[in-house]
Amino acid sequence: MELIKNLQWRYAVKKYSDAPVSEDKVGQIIEAVNLTASSCGIQPYRMIVVTDPEIRQKLAEGSFNIQIKDSSHLLVFAACNTITNEYIADYVAMMEEQRRLETGALNDYRDTLAAHFSTQTPEQHAIWSGKQTYIGLGTALIAAAELKVDTTPMEGFNPQAFNEILGLTAKNLHASVTLSLGYRDAANDYLASMPKVRLPIREFSTRV
């Protein structure tokens, strides 16, 4: 299975070369994330692609992860702060359109979702949305590995600074997790030649 080879090839890169990733490949990685699963199917997060060097310099301040600025592209997975009735109604209207259903055909689904989210606090909404971003992150890691694009998933960043610099709060979003894209500087990355560390499969996975 080619996927296993790709996953053995990938690792969380510490040091990138200056080589840029083509916009075509970045587009394919984003498309893969857009196609992945989300709970209730309402994609409660957005992806921000950051390339501007000044913005990336600011985002990297105070973080031990130099990959935030020293990589080709930085993807920020920004989760919804709250799931509003308006968000649900807009998304369900898009479902009706894309599935060529009559307007109002999915009203029951819309109302069920609205009733469900109305029982939850904004904090619960944000936690739920944040979990969905990690499904996207996993998909992006796999897609990038297939394209032989290197990556680093990162939680080591200042979420408040990201929200402010990227204007996320005003969009009802918050930075959840990030992924840098680029090409490894194998000669200067101590991890490039290190074997992967993983549990033996029999310990990791059991059958009952």
Ligand X SMILES: Cc1cc2nc3c(=O)[nH]c(=O)nc-3n(C[C@H](O)[C@H](O)[C@H](O)COP(=O)(O)O)c2cc1C
| Nearer of residues 148 and 196 to ligand X, judged by Cβ | 196
The rounded distance, in Å, linking the Cα atoms of 48 and 18 is 21
| Nearer of residues 11 and 45 to ligand X, judged by Cβ | 11
93: DSSP letter: H
Least distance to ligand X from the beta carbon of 197, Å? 7
Q: Is 9 in the site for ligand X (CB under 6 A)?
A: no
| Nearer of residues 7 and 30 to ligand X, judged by Cβ | 7
Task: Provide the 3-class DSSP secondary structure of residue 152.
Answer: strand
Least distance to ligand X from the beta carbon of 69, Å? 13
Q: Give me the amino acid identity at 17.
A: S
Q: Which two tokens stand for residue 62?
A: 């105070």
Cα 27 to chain centroid distance, Å, stands at 13
Residues in contact with ligand X, total (CB under 6 A)? 10
Q: Is 12 in the site for ligand X (CB under 6 A)?
A: yes
Whether the CB-CB separation of 6 and 146 falls below 8 Å is answered with yes
Which residue in the set 11, 77, 91, 162 belongs to the binding site for ligand X (CB under 6 A)?
11
Whether the CB-CB separation of 185 and 46 falls below 8 Å is answered with no
Q: Which two tokens stand for residue 79?
A: 């989760």
Distances (CA, A) of 168 to 45, 88, 99, 171, 174: 11, 19, 30, 5, 6
Cα 195 to chain centroid distance, Å, stands at 26
Least distance to ligand X from the beta carbon of 67, Å? 7
Least distance to ligand X from the beta carbon of 89, Å? 32
Where in 28-87 is the site for ligand X (CB under 6 A)? 65
Where in 110-169 is the site for ligand X (CB under 6 A)? 152-156
Binding mask 165-204 for ligand X (x = CB under 6 A): ------------x------------------x--------
Q: Give me the phi and psi of 151, to 5 degrees please.
A: -145, 160
Least distance to ligand X from the beta carbon of 152, Å? 5
Binding site for ligand X (CB under 6 A): 11-12, 65, 152-156, 177, 196
